[in-house]
Amino acid sequence: MKTIASFTVDHDTLEKGMYVSRIDGDAVTYDIRMKKPNGGDYLSNGALHTFEHLFATYARNSKFSDSVIYVGPMGCRTGFYLILRDRVNNEQAIRLVQDSFRFVADFSGKIPGSERKECGNYLEHDLEGAKSVAADMLGVLENYSAKQLCYVKADQ
């Protein structure tokens, strides 16, 4: 079998940030790396789960809602994938992520979709953990530009 594209990225050189992972037709996959890979510090399951609910809720209610294909966590617990239709340009995608993370960092109240009938693991949420991760990433993404969306090659 062929090695999938995300496994060809040198995770030992990957830093926190936002990257274009792949483009498939009109679908652009963004790799939002919230923790340094293999750094020993990962998103806790509760924070990851709550972050997913809040990030997806915000993105799917934004002005780009018709272009949001998928918002979901990475299995390695170092970040999220955001898949958007290419009618959202890179600068708009960065702004959407910044706005989404600001929403999470400032959120208070009942977590959307956190009732038993709405969620398959409704007991495992951590709002304070999600807010902390969002606030940390806002610092990383504060002045982010489209030029920074490319993975840095190990030999660069």
Each residue's pLDDT tens digit, 12-46: 889 999 999 999 999 999 999 999 999 999 999 99
| Structural domain spans, the chain | 13-141
Which of the four pLDDT bands, split at 50, 70 and 90, describes residue 87? very high
Q: Any alpha helices (H) in 7-107, and if so which ranges?
A: 45-61, 90-106
Q: What is the pTM of this model?
A: 0.93
2 SS3 class: coil
Q: Which residues pair with 82 in a beta bridge?
A: 30, 71
Residue 50 has pLDDT above 60, yes or no: yes
> How confident is the model over 99-143, as pLDDT tens digits?
999 999 999 999 999 999 999 999 999 999 999 999 999 999 999
Give the homologous superfamily in CATH for domain 13-141: S-ribosylhomocysteinase (LuxS) (3.30.1360.80)
What are the residues whose beta carbons fall under 8 Å from the beta carbon of 108, sequence distance 6 or more? none
How far are the Cα atoms of 32, 40, 78, 109, 146 from residue 150, in angstroms, in the given order? 12, 24, 18, 36, 8
Beta strands in 67-141 (DSSP E): 68-73, 79-85
pLDDT at 85 over 70: yes
Residue for token pair 């953990």 = 129
